[in-house]
Structure 1
Amino acid sequence: MYGDASVGARLDGLPLSRFHWRLLGLIAAGMYFDSFDIYIAGTVLAAMIHSGESTLRLNATFVSVTFIGMMTGAWLAGWLGDRFGRRFCYQFNLGIYGFASIAAALAPSIYWLIAFRLVMGVGMGAEIVVGYGTLSEFIPASWRGRFGTILNLIINTSLFLSTFLGWLIVPHYGWRWMFAIAGCGALVVWFLRKSMPESPRWLATHGRVEEAQCVVERIEAECGASPGLSPTAGTVASTVVQEGRMSDLFSRRLLARTITAVVVLVALFVVNYAFVSWIPTFLVQQGHSVSSSLGLTAVMFAGGPIGSLVAFSLAERLGRKWGIVLFSLVCAGFGVAYPFAQSATAIAALGFAITACIYVLSSFSVATYVPELFPTALRLRGSGVANTAGRAVSIFVPFAVANAFTHFGIAGVLALIVGTLLTQALIVGLLGTETRRRSLESIAADVAVPMGGMQTAGRPGNAPTAIE
């Protein structure tokens, strides 16, 4: 057995233990503050408008540079994480984000705040790529999907906390404290994360098999498991060193997976921003009072945690591929029915169902499925490309939604959402591969061909074979 396959088998054979939960906690903490900072933007910008420190145009610039930074961060995280390791990348990007948040709290003007926000966006965009990808490489195959849904649920609770703290803090102490909380929290997590190990799968893929085995042995000891068999000298010598290139993602064998990952994340961002971000505006435009619209919105958004729990229960039963297909179709069905809802109860019920489906899709796709699709040597680059495409499209979603609503009303917006969901169901159904309860090595073996930059470490005469 090759070095990295041996490492993967040993990681998948471990019993669930405190190590896995601590790893989840450390990754979730960093991503939580990342998400927290995204959601505080509305509160901060509203306060700056009220105080005369900003204008609507400058606020729009603030939002735009956030997306630009996140696109850049997602792209860079893919390259840095695959080239220099998961541990380096998640510490690097969290440090950037943390220090930039502290600087934002001290910004002398909105112009400086916009500049710091661009830097913060780089860290925020990188965190989502590295966090989900790193988690997938440590968790046993039988639990990988469920851990992804738990992480997704934890992260999304930041919406409530950011809104609640904004309500408590901003009117009395000003907007700067919101950035200070996010920055200090991120730096505390940065310090705690120094104890996290490098991914053994990444180490083995880059020919550092002895280091990988040492890390696995420490994890096995912490999990109370018997140490696995160390590789023989011949096994170590025949390990294939993989230095995948970005172009490999668009090779014949991986193109279908790259297309699937891009479609899945583009669809998620389109549906999320078209519905979740705009629903209060839709309700007001349909004649509901502001108070009524906010109340209905609160009921609808309660579907988010329920969706994550549904995903948790189905991740290892239904699977990711068919889960995405099924809930895309279910969500599309609710979307078709929504324009015909007349009573507040029907509107709230259908909105609740749509929100729950969106969170199921989020748990299945960005949190679990996309990182699983790519071999270790290209995992973060594949996720980075998909996230970059999703962020790029999300820049134009508000304009598409506004145009659809202006010309066709809520039915036009729902047509955009339903069309996106049906496209996703078709592409994933035709091109997607099922990853449920499969080792990452097994998933990668389906597309195992020599990739650009591979080298064989060790004695000549060992035929290089593509591995995970």
Structure 2
Amino acid sequence: MQMDASIGARLDRLPLSGFHWRLLGLIAAGMYFDSFDIYIAGTVLAAMIHSGESTLGLNATFVSVTFIGMMTGAWLSGLLGDRFGRRFCYQFNLGIYGFASIAAALAPSMYWLIFFRLVMGLGMGAEIVVGYGTLSEFIPANWRGRFGTILNLIINTSLFLSTFLGWLIVPHYGWRWMFAIAGCGALIVWFMRKSMPESPRWLASRGRGQEARQIVERIEAACGSPAASGTGSAIHSTAAGMAYDDTSDTGRLAELFSRRLLTRTITAVTVLVALFTVNYAFVSWIPTFLVKQGHSVANSLGMTALMFAGGPVGSLIAFVLAERVGRKWGIVVFSLICAAFGVAYPFAQSTVVITALGFAITAGIYVLSSFSVATYVPELFPTQLRLRGSGFANTVGRAVSIVVPYAVASAFMRFGIAGVLTLIVGTLLLQALVVGVLGTETRHRSLEAIAADANPHDVEALQAGSTVATK
């Protein structure tokens, strides 16, 4: 199938406008409540341990079924999103997640709560794949990394907010209100997002070029940049459209393991396995660790809220660096920095130092999150395989995360917090090695050029097209 690369060229030429910011807001709103619900796990589980409604074993099961649901949701979103479109998928998964969250607020026991969490996980796992992938297909290349970090920043405020609200609400009104807030918010966003357009890049990759061009024309009009705004641009678009032949990309799942995409698949899987392992080993369990170490629930949640304020700070750091150092080397450098803080954490004694190091580790984790899941992974794959590639990497990451809670619980009971930090540091070092050796840089490059770079024939074709455009 011939990929109409002029669609991508026209989208990349657009100036930033209200359209891009509205799109970011709609995507961010859905992902915000998705992330909010993920992060209330630490607060809810710590409170249920304290009240006797749950045990460490049941808490581990709760976290694991979350990952089972998210793993399944990520896989299905990849298949459905590449087959039926981005718009269908993000509405479908948000509806599932919203209703399941409300049901969780009414759960009569921990066992029912675990069941509803499994259903919630389907929507949560899909949202992270479709949200980041969809955003990458609309934003111009020179801003794609920064928009990914802005989206990550918005989402990460939910980490602080969920912990802060948990500190205010859970001790006085119980944990159920946390799920009710998330569910109602998600359903409100579901209605708001009905106005979002389908991705023109996806439409073009499915041979629906006319629909894609109509949407791009509407976007160009909204941005004040009509299609006929310049002869040179029109020539460039035509050349790009002729140059990028997507016939080598059949859109089959097996393509992810072909010679041209295998290193990218390995890279994507590695960064998501590392991110989810480190994130949930630290973020989801730190309130429980503090309670087990003798802190009261209120004191534990207060310390955790201060630590998790590092999430937005990490996203701000990533915003500044995304289009300067790039995604590849940003991941490598901050994996090493975060590992260094992890080594220091077990030696901290005072509450102030523990909180400060926890803040630094959280910031480092979310720099990595901004670079990897928010931007890098969707960029690695061609349009016809973008959600399947991202979905596969997310699926493997979630599969590994299923056993992480049990590994974390075992490491903590045997070696204390030092055992947990050893797991985190080892994972970060492995990520730095794999990305440094196998990763490709995507900074300031069009999605079509990144896709063509995996195939020497396509690189030559793009270069020939560029030559034609300059004549």
- Does the 8 Å contact 2:272/2:373 carry over to 1? yes
Deviation at 1:27, TM superposition (A): 0.4
Q: What are the ranges of 5 or more consecutive residues in structure 1 without an aligned counterpart?
A: 452-468
Query: Structure 2 counterpart of 1:434, which letter?
Result: E
Which residue does the alignment assign to 1:209? 209
Residue 300 to residue 182, structure 1, CA distance change in 2 (3 Å): closer
CA distance in 2, matches of 1:111, 1:292: 28
Name the CA distance, whole Å, in 2 between partners of 1:279 and 1:338: 12
Alignment of 1:376-391 (within 5 A): 376-391=383-398
Q: Distance in 2 between matches of 1:352 and 1:108?
A: 35
Cα 1:178–1:450 change in 2 (3 A) is farther
The one of 404, 408, 411 equivalent to 1:404 is: 411
Partner of 1:270: 277
Q: Which residue of 2 aligns with 1:458?
A: none
406-415 or 119-128, larger mean C-alpha shift? 406-415
1:432-451 counterparts in 2 under 5 A? 432-448=439-455
* 2:86 and 2:199 in contact (8 A); partners too: yes
- Give 1:320-331 correspondences, 5 Å limit: 320-331=327-338
Equivalent in the alignment of 2:339: 332
Query: Do the aligned partners of 1:206 and 1:243 also contact (CA within 8 Å) in 2?
Result: no
Query: What pairs with 1:47-86 in structure 2 (closer than 5 Å)?
Result: 59-86=59-86
| TM-score, structure 1 normalization | 0.86
Q: Distance in 2 between matches of 1:273 and 1:130?
A: 21
Structure-to-structure mapping, 1:41-440, within 5 angstroms:
41-44=41-44, 59-107=59-107, 110-167=110-167, 169=169, 175-228=175-228, 229=234, 243-280=250-287, 282=289, 296-440=303-447
By how many angstroms is 1:392 displaced?
Answer: 1.4
> SS of the residue aligned with 2:72?
helix
- C-alpha contact 1:207 1:239 (8 A) present in aligned 2: no
The structural deviation recorded for 1:104 is 3.5
User: For 1:157, what is the secondary structure of its paired residue?
Assistant: helix
Quote the residue 1:457 is aligned against. none
How far did residue 148 of structure 1 move?
0.7
Q: Distance in 2 between matches of 1:370 and 1:305?
A: 21
Q: CA deviation at 1:393?
A: 1.3
Deviates further, 324-333 or 286-295: 286-295
Indicate if the aligned counterparts of 2:42 and 2:283 stay in contact, CA closer than 8 A. Answer: no
Give, in angstroms, the shift of residue 24 of structure 1: 0.5
Contact 1:207–1:240 (Cα < 8 Å) also in 2: no
Residue aligned with 2:4, SS: helix
2:231: which partner in 1? none
Partner SS, residue 137 of structure 2: helix
1:310-342 Cα distance to aligned partner (Å, 9 max, x none): 000000001000000111112222223334445
| Change in CA separation of 1:450 and 1:209 when aligned onto 2, cut-off 3 Å | farther
Worse-superposed segment, 379-388 or 325-334: 325-334
Once residues 111 and 281 of structure 1 are traced to their aligned partners in structure 2, the CA distance between those partners, rounded to angstroms, is 19
- 2:183 and 2:409 map into 1 onto residues whose CA distance is 34
Contact 2:43–2:301 under 8 Å retained in 1 = no
Deviation at 1:33, TM superposition (A): 1.2
* Contact 2:46–2:287 under 8 Å retained in 1: no
- Most deviating of 268-277 and 119-128: 268-277
> What is the root-mean-square deviation of aligned Cα atoms in Å?
3.2
Question: What SS class does the counterpart of residue 260 from structure 2 fall into?
Answer: coil
Shift of 1:171: 6.0
After superposition, the C-alpha distances for 1:75-129 in whole angstroms (9 at most, x for unaligned) are 1001110111101111111122123233334555555444333222101110000
Query: In percent, how many aligned pairs have the same letter?
Result: 82
The residue type paired with residue 336 of structure 2 is L
Give the aligned residue type for 1:430. V
> Match for residue 465 of structure 1?
none
The CA deviation at 1:294 is 5.0
By how many angstroms is 1:182 displaced? 2.3
Q: If the length of structure 2 is used for normalisation, what is the TM-score?
A: 0.86
